[in-house]
A = this chain, B = another copy of it.
């Protein structure tokens, strides 16, 4: 476990809990048990650190979308929400960090916003591909968009209404929709 990893872990936790702008470099280095000088030897500036945190999260969530068990259409929809509930409970109990980044950096047309957009479309591409064998081709885009919207809504609702209930509601909505648009 290098110091670079310690810094990444601490930064991810603090950025997510307090917000990007509200988290100073000093707080990160203290939580990571190191010094500003070391941090800036691994990351050119704060934005680079933010990007690294977003990238680490992106890879882990993409992995989750790739690996939840396959099956028929309905069981895959349920599996997707079950996996996302697990993710929300363990890694994302206070909403989506990309939505958070979009709010805090939305004015800027920089690499951070580019990464947010890329992440969301990566997820949609994975879902589309994994569902493609079990859904009619004409219905695939609208189902993917519905699932994306529902995950977004469940993640945003979870902090206030509880994760289990939010994701269960989202799952029921998705199954109703899929059944009607068979």
Contact = CB atoms under 8 A, between A and B. Distances in A.
A176 interface: yes
Interface in A153-182: 153-154, 156-157, 159-161, 165-166, 169-170, 172-174, 176-177, 179-181
Tallying the copies of this chain within the complex gives 2
Chain A interface size range: 35 or more
Contacts of A142: 169
A3 interface: no
A117 interface: yes
Interface in A93-136: 94-96, 99-100, 102-107, 117, 120
Contacts of A174: 173
A101 to B, nearest CB: 9
Given A18-B107, A21-B19, A173 B160 contact: no
Interface of A: 17-19, 21-22, 94-96, 99-100, 102-107, 117, 120, 142, 145-146, 148-154, 156-157, 159-161, 165-166, 169-170, 172-174, 176-177, 179-181
